[in-house]
Structure 1
Amino acid sequence: MNDLAPICAGFWSCVFAFQTLIAGLLAVIAAAGTAYAVWRSAHIPAVQQERHERDQQRRRRRHGANILAGELSHVSERAHQAAATIKVIIAANKTLTEEMKDPLYLKPPATLSNWEVTSLFPDEYQRRCIDFTNLINRHNFHVARAGGVFGDTNSQKTVQRRVKSISDIAHRLRNDLDPQNGTVKVVPRTRDDD
């Protein structure tokens, strides 16, 4: 201990005696600061890229929601028109011809067959859209098989119920979309959706 006393007699003599140690500590601190600056500069582009990808996905979802909303409104309107056409055919008790069937066919929204768009929506909404497309396909199948006078009363009621159901489901699916934000209100399925 007596050997240290003359080395650190004052503040400046201590600084002079331990200048190498102090310089080493300052170098370690500077290296840590440099490492942080390098990490930060490498991390900023990754964060910006992630933000850019999120923004692009949000824009794609909003665009898809806008297109799908328009298509669902169109299907709902066409189903409503098909229901009115069926009533006229039944009231006239006419034989169903291919020309009369044309307005009864419904086309599923094209957007629902684009997996890149539908994958942007929640799984439950996707399932409801798939079930909706299947319902339209079943309807078109039954319309294609219909012939003669529009069948018995049960057949008439079934077709009318199915067309009304398609119109209602299209309307509900449309209302569950928020095209402004590209979001979907996930509403549990009802028995009508089956």
Structure 2
Amino acid sequence: MANVVNVFSIDEERLRFRVICAIDANTAGYDAQGEYDINIPIPTSFTNSHEYSSCRIKCDVLTATIQAAGTAANAVWSTRAGGFLRNGNVELQLSAPSSQTSLTAINAAAGNPGAFNEPVEETSGFKQIIPIQFVVVGGAAAAWNPGVASSGGWVNVGEQPAIICANPFGSRLRLRFVDVFSRNPIFLADAAAAPGVDIGKYTLQFEIELVPDK
């Protein structure tokens, strides 16, 4: 089978950007608990032009590690109430406006909007389901073993397509990690010590392509 090479013009490449976001929630006095305000700097004049009010955006890298717990075995995705989750995924939200997302979720827990099999429905805003897999980071003897490793965390697996959102450059956005079922904010915590305290270190990489206005 012949190799296929995608060739883009210089003008097209000028509209493609990579944005890296690093959040250390284990900073003294900072406890955002799954909701973080971030600024997206303006790298070129294209991103600040009225001719590009929309873009295609996706998150293609997520790492979420915990380094303050005694062992990696204590790392959990937690709600603010200290509920531990084993969903196998994280819903990533950005406050960048978008009309290309929709969600329906059934959660029959008492007191939740989705009780009695009435689905919760949401539209608008950037949303992306990110499948995750736990890995150990090391830092101790026999660090391959989650029971003794001094740190560990989750990495994304697979790849998702981009969706159209408003141009985020030069804006302050709210970034959220969400439990797709309960719709509650979630974050990394130490199950053995303080399950309701956010001590995660999160690294995200976004691929953004500006879309010319018609």
Q: Verify same fold: TM over 0.5.
A: no
- Bin the TM-score by the shorter chain: under 0.3
- Larger-gyration structure (1/2): 1
Task: Judging by fraction of residues, say which structure has more helix.
Answer: 1
The structure with the largest strand share of the pair is 2
